[in-house]
Amino acid sequence: MSHDRFEVHLARTGLTIQVDSDESILDALLLAGVQAPYLCMAGSCSTCQVSVLEGIPEHRDSVLTQAERDAQNTMMICCSRSKSSRLVLDL
C-alpha cells in the first residue's frame, strides 16, 4: 500500500519535495519548478523513466516488465507512487 504523502529527494540537485496523496511525482516536481522528462503522463511511453536510488516504488505504469518492477531500480514518475515514506531519484 502506498503512503498518502511521501517525499522525493533528487540526488543530482539535492532538492527534497513533498508529494501529496492527490498528485503524481511528476506533478509535484513540475510545481516545484523542476524540469523533468515527460510526454504522455499516463505511464505508457517511458519518457519519464528515472532511476530509483533508494526507497520502494509502487509501479502504476504499463511499460516495465515484472522483472524490472521486481528490481525496483527504475520507475515512471508520471503515474507511479511510493510504498516507502521517501524515494531518492537520480534527478
Report the candidate in 62, 64, 69 with the shortest Cα–Cα distance to residue 42.
Answer: 62
What CA–CA distance (Å, rounded) separates 49 from 75? 5
Q: Could you give the C-alpha distances from 19 to 63, 70, 77, 82, in angstroms and in order?
A: 22, 23, 11, 9
Q: What is the pLDDT of residue 4?
A: 87
What pTM value is reported for the model? 0.90
Residues 4-13: what's their mean pLDDT?
95
Q: So what's the architecture of 6-89 in CATH? A: Roll (3.10)
Ranges of each domain in the chain: 6-89
Give the tens place of pLDDT for each residue, 14-64. Answer: 999 999 998 999 999 999 999 998 998 888 999 999 999 999 999 999 999
